[in-house]
Structure 1
Amino acid sequence: MTSTLEHRMTTTLEHVATLAARAGGSVVRQVRSVLEPGALPTAGAAVEPASRWLVVTVYRERAEIDTGNLPAPLAEYGDEIEVLVREAADAKGTELGARLRTPPPSGISGAAAKVRGDDPRAKLRSALRRAKQLLEVGEVLKVDPVPHGKRSATPGGLVLEAVTRRADREGVL
């Protein structure tokens, strides 16, 4: 009897979670359509790749960035990405953008990929940041280890370690 009840509760919770995810996605799409009118295709418009542009501003002149000879982190993607190079606003450097040609996974599989650290957009975002550093500085900068030894395993220290490990992939909010 208990296993049947547990099964029903699990099934119900899974159903509720699925409905909540769909509702959340719908809300996000509605908000995006208001905040970023060009981000979603309109009815009858040509469908572009599902991946949005990821853009960084590089403090270099437009002429100094050769799309045929991209830095290694972006060049490794080959034909998997589209690259955009244009002058930044107020002539303050150059915008370097990239997006995946194939749509990243969505729904539960997309969320699972993010949790596992396999999100293709996060990997592209990291490659774009590394390319920016190579173009500006000539090397990829890393966080130095703690100079005075190992941190104690406090809750704050564990959170800091986790954020530092993920910072190169997704940035710190």
Structure 2
Amino acid sequence: MRWLVGGAAMVAGGLVARRLLGGSARGDGQWPQRLVGRRRPRWHVATVNRPADKIAVDGQLPEPLTGLGDAVEIQVRPAAGNRGTEIAVRLRDGARLPAAQAVRRAMGRDPEQAIRAALREAKQLIETSEVLHPDHPPTTESTLLNKPLQLATRHGRREGRL
């Protein structure tokens, strides 16, 4: 009975993998073009509640953004409805394979995570003049039950919406 359940799980896993990877019904063994082709870099945008002249003082953006170096392209433009300024950042080279991106992401070395973290920190520096940290220094002792919360807090700035 165990081998029957194991076999069914393997077949289901294969079907899911084929669906996710976009395998063709012909079975020609070709990788889908969306996995091997060049991926266009994605813009990450944050709206800051300050005019553009107060964001880049003396032509210098805040340190988290300048720390990204020449690997990124940065645009500063007025926000819609005259409601502050938008800061847009994207990687200059968007050529990445999704498999390599998944490995980098799991290891915490995805450049897009660094962009999101830098945008969050720059927004906080511009609006409040300091980078705010949740529950820092921690007021509780580390236990097995609060490890998931500590992990989420540690990696939360690198993921999700701005």
TM-score of the alignment, normalized to the shorter chain, above 0.5: yes
Q: What aligned pairs does 1:1-173 form with structure 2 within 5 A after superposition?
A: 18-23=17-22, 50-66=40-56, 68-103=59-94, 105-143=96-134, 144-147=136-139, 149-154=140-145, 157-171=146-160
Q: Which runs of 4+ in 1 moved over 6 A?
A: 12-15
Decide whether the 8 Å contact of 1:125 with 1:169 is kept in 2: yes
- CA offsets per residue over residues 32-52 of structure 1, 9 Å max, x none? xxxxxxxxxxxxxxxx97211
Letter in 2 for 1:168: R
Secondary structure in 2 matching 1:57: strand
- CA offsets per residue over residues 111-151 of structure 1, 9 Å max, x none? 1111111111011110111111111111211122332x314
Mapped partners of 1:49, 1:18: distance in 2: 21
Higher relative contact order (CA 8 A, sep 6+): 2
Q: What's the offset of the Cα at 1:152?
A: 3.3
Q: 1:70 to 1:49 in 2, by over 3 A?
A: farther
RMSD after superposition: 3.0
Among the aligned pairs, what percent are the same residue? Answer: 36
Decide whether the 8 Å contact of 2:55 with 2:62 is kept in 1: no
Decide whether the 8 Å contact of 1:62 with 1:85 is kept in 2: yes
Mapped partners of 1:104, 1:168: distance in 2: 24
Mapped partners of 1:167, 1:57: distance in 2: 19
Decide whether the 8 Å contact of 1:49 with 1:100 is kept in 2: no
Q: 1:73 to 1:104 in 2, by over 3 A?
A: farther
Letter in 1 for 2:153: T
Mapped partners of 1:50, 1:64: distance in 2: 31
Mapped partners of 2:159, 2:69: distance in 1: 22
TM-score, normalised by the number of residues in structure 1: 0.67
Mapped partners of 1:104, 1:138: distance in 2: 35
TM-score, normalised by the number of residues in structure 2: 0.71
Secondary structure in 2 matching 1:50: coil
**Gap regions ≥5 residues in structure 2:** 1-8, 24-37
Secondary structure in 1 matching 2:22: helix
Decide whether the 8 Å contact of 2:56 with 2:62 is kept in 1: no
**Gap regions ≥5 residues in structure 1:** 1-8, 25-47
The number of residue pairs the alignment matches comes to: 138
Q: What's the offset of the Cα at 1:78?
A: 2.4
Letter in 2 for 1:58: V
